[in-house]
């Protein structure tokens, strides 16, 4: 295994193929659960725990931000952008 990072005295190794697949599968199960339950995290706690257990912490952070971005992008594409009304200037 290739050592790719040295942090706080601990050597972290890159996940191997089986570990990456397990992480991606856990992510996909969590995202499906969230989609099926209108993003109700409480309904998907089992999948969230599995996701966090099978993926490196940095990957969990990345995938969580990625899902938020993809949801935002989808909303912008379907609903469009509506600028907020700012303060009205006195004329």
pLDDT tens, the chain, 91 aa long: 444 444 444 556 888 999 999 999 999 999 999 999 999 999 999 999 999 999 999 999 999 999 999 999 999 999 887 777 877 665 5
> How many other C-beta atoms are found inside a 10 Å radius of the C-beta of residue 29?
16
- What are the domain boundaries of the chain? 17-76
pTM: 0.73
Q: Which long-range contacts (CB under 8 A, 24 or more apart) does 1-9 make?
A: none
């Amino acid at each position: 295994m290739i050592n790719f990072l040295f942090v706080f005295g601990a050597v972290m190794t890159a996940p191997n193929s089986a570990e990456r697949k397990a992480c991606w599968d856990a992510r996909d199960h969590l995202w499906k659960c969230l989609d099926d339950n209108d993003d109700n995290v409480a309904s998907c706690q089992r999948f969230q725990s599995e996701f966090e257990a099978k993926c490196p912490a940095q990957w969990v952070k990345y995938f969580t931000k990625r899902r938020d971005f993809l949801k935002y992008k989808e909303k912008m594409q379907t609903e469009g952008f509506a600028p907020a009304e700012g303060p009205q200037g006195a004329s």
